[in-house]
Structure 1
């Protein structure tokens, strides 16, 4: 096993939790540095799972949109690690911006590199020439007949649909080694916006659960009135749970402005939140906007919330960690800027667990099938 991370603050966060004996990361062998400089020969081939998130800045809506022209584009390095380790499966996560029309060809190129990791780029071959060669060899069937190949599934996922209190859309690229003959699809959705609207404006269960009296409940937003009427005339939504909101996520955590003694790590008030056009923060009774890797200056006010009285307030680091579904016992190392950057770059813990558990289940089922087949052949 190896945990490879170039950012020293993120590594320091892991190390600090290791020193505290936090069980999940206690035995992680952390290596700080560029993934291209890591000695992959120290990791055996045929590992079960490779998981990673290449830097999103080349494709992020807030980045420079250079894609293949950005030195931070680590998808070629990701394909190289897949080639070296030949994992049974891999999970790669990145921003929705990867699906922008301007990047469509490069996204197809990324998928082909991961599908055929041994068809490496030749000396002097630019990415476009490599892309065309991969396309030709894929359509000819030559790459499927020889060498290492993967069956690739890509999905655009909204974290809120899986119970994360945040509208965070991310692209997941999941691959299974072709010789395993595994058929996989993204896990079924567990939560929905309609179910939240029903619990708020039809049954009232949401407000009852939070102890908000009828007199203090807001009115149905005008743009949702027709949708709520439709929900009012239908049966209760039993198949999906309500989206989780900011209010849900922060339940039980004290207001950091009151400075009363509490047992929460990284929970200090950050002053200076302001509302202005385009910088509006997250409402309490919806999933949060996508937390971003910044502090005060993120463009849409994603790192602050709007309180019941209409005032803005920055999320504390602990509140941001709640929104990213990190456990309260996991601490973050560094300044406000560095910790918020770590959180803005993170995959929500509960979402990662859902995707990884689904992949792991398929690998385990396949292993059981192969072991059973081997036993039958041995008996025969």
Structure 2
């Protein structure tokens, strides 16, 4: 098998995809003890539970039992909080590289410099490449150029923002991927293979895999109290149709005018639709943050894993909140498998013999009709009335408060 070094491994979403494409994780590093325990429960990979900044490249190579230049690929997704959409709205135009978590980019570059793998893959949130806010992306690209200059390598990085649903994952999830070859070979990202089923699909394009494809065979009513909704808005969710969110209950929606247009986060009261891919799985959702199941409950551990295309054999020995945190931060394993196969073929001269993707979910023959929508409960009718729309980007109350705080600092 081809050899991979894995950084910021988390629950192993990237690694499982690379494993399906014929790679072996020779060493994995993550600071989170729950992630490391989960990895050890499922795989025999050497796992280092530590801050990467405290792990020398010599130690990494020693545990992996490889010399500099011998690894086939370096993979990893440095923590994304400074570059996430939520981080952007929380901090406005503050330089995101000043966030302590951004130093993980330099640690990735340090390991790249010292191990000199034949190829590299770095993953991050799509906010990493926001126009005018791409300090993190530029830090990586500049760092690779500096490594080339000093180590006489020829890494030629290319990057793209990919939506996992376009490659067969039953979940809409956009992430940026940076890929490069040590010997300067060009890499071309694979073309999408899936699209909207209600569109006239171009020749060769398949319909999206849906939430029903992923979890339709699992129990609709699991006996698990953790899946029951709690909090102020739990009773309102049954009045939201499948595939909709709180916007249904605004003047522009089809329900009652209970909220102003775009005055809440998109994921507020967000519900899955059986005939569409899932919305993006969140890592640390609040009590009213979806996506929720069409039966008005939280998603189970197995449902979360299916939507992230983790194998059914993958086990967890922690509570559901920890599982959601790990899976919400993971790369869908099927998308990792797609990219790993391309890296094999384009950069390592080791194309796959089998054409079938191991982690592609099955199709289910028939999708049931959407669940009926319940009427709005009496407790929420007091909200009915005229609600102003959100005033626009940087004009909301939080943005104004930040501006006042900045002016007074």
| Aligned counterpart, 2:227 | 270
Counting matched residue pairs gives 280
Give the structure with the higher percent helix. 1
3-state SS in 1 of match to 2:335: helix
Aligned match for 1:306, one of 272, 278, 294: 294
CA contact (8 A) 1:296 1:303 kept: no
**For residue 11 of structure 1, what is the aligned residue in structure 2?**
36
Cα-Cα RMSD? 2.3
Higher relative contact order (CA 8 A, sep 6+): 2
- Return the match for 2:274 from 284, 293, 299: 284
2: CA distance, partners of 1:357 / 1:321 = 22
Kept in 2: contact 1:256–1:269 (CA 8 A): no
Whole-Å separation in 2 of the counterparts to 1:366 and 1:350 = 19
2:293 partner SS: strand
Q: Is the 8 A contact 2:73 2:118 kept in 1?
A: yes
Alpha-carbon spacing, 1:327–1:256, altered in 2? closer, same or farther (3 Å): farther
Change in CA separation of 1:237 and 1:175 when aligned onto 2, cut-off 3 Å: closer
Cα-to-partner distance string for 1:4-46 (whole Å, 9 max, x where unaligned):
11111111111222xxxxxxx2x30011011121132141211
Structure 1 contact 295–336 (Cα < 8 Å) conserved? no
Q: Which residue of structure 2 aligns with residue 2 of structure 1?
A: 27
| Equivalence for 1:39 | 56
1:156 maps to what in 2? 161
Report the counterpart of residue 124 of structure 1 in structure 2: none
d(CA) in 1 for partners of 2:213, 2:166: 15
Stretches of structure 1 that go unaligned for 5 or more consecutive residues are: 18-24, 119-142, 199-230, 260-266, 368-380
Give the 5 Å matches for 1:41-120. Answer: 41-42=58-59, 43=61, 44-46=67-69, 47-63=71-87, 64-65=90-91, 66-73=95-102, 74-117=104-147
Q: Secondary structure at the match of 1:302?
A: coil
Q: Distance in 2 between matches of 1:61 and 1:181?
A: 33
**SS of equivalent to 1:330:** coil
Larger radius of gyration: 1
Q: Find the aligned partners of 2:135 and 2:328 in 1 and give their Cα distance.
A: 27
- Partner SS for 1:306: coil
Alpha-carbon distance in structure 1 between the residues aligned to 2:139 and 2:314 = 37
Aligned with residue 323 of structure 1, among 291, 304, 307: 307
C-alpha contact 2:157 2:181 (8 A) present in aligned 1: yes
Gaps of 5+ in 2: 1-25, 62-66, 238-245, 248-263, 352-409
Deviation at 1:269, TM superposition (A): 5.5
Q: Which residue of structure 2 aligns with residue 189 of structure 1?
A: 192
Q: Which residue of structure 1 aligns with residue 12 of structure 2?
A: none
Distance 1:271 1:40 in 2: 45
Offset at residue 326 of structure 1 (A): 0.7
2:237 counterpart of 1:248: no
Classify the secondary structure of the residue corresponding to 1:172: strand
Q: Which moved more, 1:281-290 or 1:45-54?
A: 281-290
CA 1:102–1:363 in structure 2 vs 1: closer, same or farther (change >3 Å)? closer
Judge conservation of contact 1:256–1:268 (CA < 8 Å) in 2: no
Residues of 2 paired with 1:238 and 1:90: CA distance?
32
Secondary structure, counterpart of 1:92 in structure 2: strand
* Matches of 2:165 and 2:225, distance apart in 1: 26
Query: Does structure 1 residue 30 correspond to structure 2 residue 47?
Result: yes
Q: Tell me if the contact between 1:92 and 1:172 (Cα under 8 Å) persists in the aligned partners.
A: yes
User: What CA distance in whole angstroms lies between the structure 2 residues aligned with 1:366 and 1:270?
Assistant: 44
The 2-side partners of 1:68 and 1:105 are apart by: 7
Relative to 1, partners in 2 of residues 1:9 and 1:256: Cα closer, same or farther, differing over 3 Å?
Answer: farther
CA shift for structure 1 position 256: 3.6
Distance 1:366 1:247 in 2: 35
